[in-house]
Structure 1
C-alpha cells in the first residue's frame, strides 16, 4: 500500500508543477485492436457511401428529359 501512496503523491506533485504525468492506456492491447477495427469499419462505410453517391449521380433516369 505504501507503493500506491508514493505513486499517487508523485503524480500530484508532478501535476502541480506542470509536468506531464504518464497515464495508463485505457483499453490495453485488445482495446487498441478493437479501436483499429472500428476505425476501418467506419472508413469502409464512409467510402462505400461516397462511391454510391458518385455512381448514383452519374446514372440518369431514362424518364428525365434533358434539354440542350
Structure 2
C-alpha cells in the first residue's frame, strides 16, 4: 500500500506537469517558464517521495527507554 501512494502522487504530479506544459503562454520566455515549472514539480515530488519512503524503513530502529536493560 505504501508504494501505491508514491505512484499515485507521481501520476498526479505528472498530470499537473502536462497541464503546466500546455498552459504556459507563448512568447520569448516560454522555454524558461516551462523548465521552471517542470523542475519545481519534479524537485518537490522527489523531496516528498524520499522523505516519505525514508520514514517507512528507518535506518535506526527506535528503542523504548522505559524498559529494563535485559529486555
TM-score class, shorter = 0.3 to 0.5
TM-score (norm 2): 0.43
Highest RCO, 1 vs 2 (Cα 8 Å, sep ≥ 6): 2
* Higher Cα Rg, which structure: 1
TM-score (norm 1): 0.45
